[in-house]
Structure formats: C-alpha cells, structure tokens
Structure 1
Amino acid sequence: MKPFSLRAVTIAMLTMGVSCLTSAQIAYLGPAGSWTHQACMDLFGDTNLVALDRQALFKALDEKTVDKACVPVTTSVVGATPYLDDVLALDAVHVVGEYPKALGYSLLAKPGTRKEDIRAVLAHPVALEEVKPWLDRQMPDVERRPATSGGAAAKSVAEGTTSDIAAMGPPSAARLYGLAPIVDGIEEGPHNTTRWWVLGRGLPAPSGNDKTTLLLTVDEAGLQRSLQALTRSVQVLALYERPGKKSLDGHRYVVDVVGHASQPKIVRLLAGHSEFRLLGSYPRRY
C-alpha cells in the first residue's frame, strides 16, 4: 500500500466544492481515508486526487470540471450500492474502467482505547452490512451508526471528544487521522469484494479482453424481446435491476456483457434496439 504524501493529503482535504478543480484531477467520494480513496491511489497514485461529497462529485462530472471519478457501484455482500443510480443519471459520462478489490476493515479508535471501551461504531451503511457477521459475534451490544464514508467515520472519531467510539475503515485511515487499529482484517476475504467504476469521457481502445456495460430501459411487454436480442448478440455476464422510477411496469437493467462496444455484434445491437444505452467499455478485471 502506498504511503500518503503531503501533497495527496493537502489535495484530499480541500473544500468539498468544485470551483477549485481542474480537468486533470480525479475525484473520489470524500473525505480522505475511505476505501474509495485507497482504490484511487491503487489505480492512479497519490497525486491529482480530490475528495468531494456525493453531490459535488456528480456535479463535477456533469460539468466536466474533473477528468475522471472513482465510484463504488457493486459489492459481493450487498449488491448494488446507492451510487449506481447516480451514475445512471449522467448523460455524457462513460464507464472507462473497473476495479475489484477484496476488503478487510479495521476497527479504528483513539490511541489507548480498548475494544471493551467501545460503545458505538461508525461506518458507511454498506460497510456496516459487510462487517455485520463480525459485529454480531464480537460486539453485539455496540450501537451501529451510519456515516457518509469510511473517511468521514474515521474523521469523526478523531475529532470527537470521547474515546468510546470507533470507526470501520481501511488501515490507511488510521495513519491519516492518528487513530489506532484495535482489530485488523475484519471480514477480509474474497467474499467481501467491492467493484469500483472509473468514470470519464470517451472509450478506451479495445484491449482484447474487454467488458461492456449497457443500460436496458423497457416495459414488461417488451422485456422478453429485448432479452432475446441481447442473448443472441452477446455473452451476458451480469444483470442488475434498478428502479424504473416512472411506472410499475417500467424497468431498468444494468447489463455487463463480454466484448468491446466497437465489436460488430454490439454495434448492431445498439443500432437496432434503442432501449439499450451504452454506459461504457473497458478492460475486464474479473
């Protein structure tokens, strides 16, 4: 794991607005110290990263004031994250990369705090679900409080006035906020994997081992026809239903398929079926 540089920390702790951004920057859901921050450092290094809150990040993408953004969209434990629908609401942004990572949370508290001292745990709601089996076994009576991110949870613990609150986050958050890891590797393993999308503009060139993500918007009457056209054209890897938001019989499905969007079969599918929208093509990571 790469260490934090002073430059990275300075950038990450900038204001959560967008007025200071430049197009070379890569946004992640802040504040610093979250797993999404760590994913960005794994992918891009520790420079040119900027922490934004949820609303500011998607506004920056929409207004083209950042070059790319990294967003967690699915996990092996809870399925689709709350951020997937935010991505679907963007018009001119493509998925240009994916990054799966098996996570192992740490229980973080102020130095000197013991496990038995802890009365409440702060974590992102998705993280609380991912660590639920461990919490149920090891700390069943501890209050579980949602936070906007792992970084926000760690920051709140560090800035709090008491020592009986802990955060669930990556080990890097301990170094950033001066916390001590009480337990490491909570719910670590291949069963606890998050997939991030890298969002940007344009599509990467074919790599020879690619994945394409489509959005299917269809009513119940046309669903069978659309699925038949899809399976005749491509190999389907995954399909996630999302709320239609217009009627009970209207549905949206995020569909991952094998191949690059430039391949003839996918080109013909998109040309002949307007209910499919191209969300992105990118090198396949799993």
Structure 2
Amino acid sequence: MITMLSMSICTAGARIGYLGPAGSWTHQACMELFGDSELVALDREALFQALRAKTVARACVPVTTSVVGATPYLDDVLAFEDVHVVAEYTKVLGYSLLAKPGVRRKDIRTVIAHPVALEEVKPWLDLEMPEVERRAAASAGAAAKLVAQGSGSDTAAMGPPSAARLYGLTPIVNGIEEGPHNTTRWWVLGHAMPAPGCNDKTSLLLTIDEAGFQRSLQALTGSARVLAIYERPGKRSLEGHRYVIDVVGHASQPEIARLLAEHGEFRLLGSYPRRY
C-alpha cells in the first residue's frame, strides 16, 4: 500500500533510489513508503551519484539505529550541499533467519548479515547459535543473495522476510530481536524541501570549535526545542566538531529562520513531517 507520505513527496514517474540489491531493509522501507513501481536499486556510490545528477528524484538511506547510533551513510548525507532531507521513516526491525529450502537450523555453520544487523541480533546469536561464524555483507539483500547463489547448504542470512521471497529462501526463525530497541530511522533525500505542516522536524548541521560550542548551543536552545544531538567526526582537526541536531518545527518559522541567518555555523539539512 502506498502511504500518505509517499503521495506527498513522490510525483508521478519520479524514480526513487535505494541502497541495493533488492531485499534490503531499505528496500522494504521504500516499498512501504512508495510502493514498488518506481524503485531503483543502486550501490552506495551510484546512489549518491544519481541523486547528485538528478537521475533519481529521491534517495532513501538509513541514518540512525537505536542499537549502534549513526550509520556510516549519515556522513555521506552530510557531504551534500544541495539536497534536503524531505522525509523520515522509522521501523522496528525483527530479523528472519533465511536459508535455502530444506536446510535445518542445526545445519547452519555461517550467518551472513549487514554489520549493523550482526550487532542487533548478537544477543540472540550468542544464546541460540553461539558457534556459528558471523560474516558481514553490504546489506540484507546482499546477504540473502550470497546465500541463494552459494553452492553450500550450511549458510544463512539475517534479513527481512521480503528477502526470502525475492531469493527463494525459507525463513527458519522469524521475529529475531524484534522490539523498540531495534528501531532504524531512514531519511528520504530530495532537492525541494516540503512546505510547513502541523508537526514538523528540522535537522541542522553544526560545525564549530570547542570555544564556540556553548555560545552556539545557547543560541539554538533559545530558538527551538532540541530533540537529539549526534556528534560526527570533525574531518579537519581534533578541535573541530560537527553535530547533527534535530529540533521541533520547520525552518521557515521565524525563530529557526533567524538562527540560520545570524549563525553561519549552522547549516540546514532539511525540514520534514515528524514521524519519530
């Protein structure tokens, strides 16, 4: 089903890029957001190149998880100067253990998954399958594809149930580590920021040295209610810092607009309907 969110940010015929291959959690998120008729699976580099070249209208990437915090893709997003966060999407994940038909749980010697997924299912694996080898893959879809194309029958993947359907695998166990502690947030990136709504969130990037941090933080808290702060590598020196900051409201609101006009250390990443 195509949601109200998809109708508000996806125009007819506009392609949506996501981290491929098919069968990843990002693919699952995009199907829930937009349906599956205009989705394009791309690898990490190609996805951001396509967004920069505008050969896709939107790109969907996971940016934070409740288990490991910021994902590696968040810094890719911060490198863009000319795109906006136009939507967010959150999902409580429950992994499935996927193997070829006929494979039993006791036959499995290796489990393949995205590194974040391996962290999220670690408590279950430690308890239920402590002896298996754990191998990283680029995504849940890539993990399922490796299992499906492999010659052996002692390997399984951790991923969404949709990956089983795509690659002809069988879910051996479902709902692994499912719960609010296993929540992933995606950002949808685009070139045109949505108009103000009734319940918006704004994401900012603050680049500052230690001496100026307190001053900037005071200016921010005097302008908007802060929801979250994520520190990112400064990239230039140990004294320089970058912070992704989520606040309540839309960038067009006078207080936030004034902050951005008067404090050049803040960069607007986007304003979008709040879902989390």
SS of the residue corresponding to residue 148 of structure 1 reads coil
1:95 Cα deviation (Å)? 0.2
Q: Determine whether 1:201 maps to 2:191.
A: yes
What do residues 215-258 of structure 1 show as CA deviations (whole Å, max 9, x unaligned)?
Answer: 00000111111001001111000000000010000000000000
Gap runs ≥5 in structure 2: 3-12
Name 2:122's counterpart in structure 1. 132
Three-state SS of the structure 2 residue aligned to 1:191 is: helix
1:172 and 2:172 matched = no
CA-CA distance at 1:65 after TM superposition: 1.2
Matched, 1:253 2:247: no
1:192 pairs with 2:182: yes
**Which amino acid is the alignment partner of residue 245 of structure 1?**
K
Secondary structure at 1:127's aligned position in 2? helix
Counting only pairs closer than 5 Å after superposition, residues 148-163 of structure 1 correspond to structure 2 as 148-163=138-153
For 1:18, the equivalent position in structure 2 comes to: none
1:105 maps to which residue?
95
**Pairwise mapping of residues 224-263 of structure 1 onto structure 2 (< 5 A)?**
224-263=214-253
Alpha-carbon offset, residue 190 of structure 1: 1.2
C-alpha distance in 2 between matches for 1:245 and 1:203: 27
Helix, strand or coil: the match of 1:233? coil
Between the aligned partners of 1:83 and 1:129, the Cα distance in structure 2 is: 17
1:214 corresponds to: 204
Tell me how far 1:189 sits from its aligned partner.
1.1
Residue identity (%): 79
Looking at structure 2, the residues matched to 61 and 91 of structure 1 have their Cα atoms a distance apart, in angstroms, of 12
1:46-85 matches, cutoff 5 A: 46-85=36-75
- Which residue type is aligned with residue 254 of structure 1? V
**TM-score, normalised with respect to structure 2:** 0.95
Q: Which amino acid aligns with 1:142?
A: V
User: Which amino acid is the alignment partner of residue 75 of structure 1?
Assistant: T
SS in 1 for 2:61: strand
Q: Is there any run of 5+ residues in structure 1 with no aligned partner, and where?
A: 3-22
Matched, 1:117 2:107: yes
CA distance in 2 between counterparts of 1:77 and 1:187 reads 11
| One-letter code aligned to 2:92 | A
Q: Spell out, residue by residue over 1:86-114, the C-alpha distance to the aligned partner (whole angstroms, 9 max, x if none).
A: 00001111000000100000000000101
Q: Does 1:277 align with 2:267?
A: yes
How many residues in Structure 1 have an aligned counterpart in Structure 2? 266
Encode CA deviations 1:55-102: one digit per residue, 9 max, x unaligned.
000111111111001100000111000100000001111000000100
What is the SS of the residue equivalent to 1:27?
strand
Shift in Å at residue 145 of structure 1?
0.4
Amino acid paired to 1:26: I
**Cα displacement (A) at 1:24:** 1.8
Amino acid of the residue matched to residue 251 of structure 1? H
Look up the match of 2:86: 96
Amino acid at match of 1:95: V
SS in 1 for 2:166: helix
State the shift of 1:119 in Å: 0.6
Cα distance between partner residues in 1 of 2:137 and 2:163: 14
Between the aligned partners of 1:91 and 1:120, the Cα distance in structure 2 is: 41
CA deviation after TM superposition for structure 1 residue 47, in Å = 0.8
Q: Choose the corresponding residue for 1:266, options 243, 248, 256.
A: 256
1:29-54 deviations in Å (ceiling 9; x for gaps): 00000110010000001110000000
TM-score, normalization: structure 1? 0.92
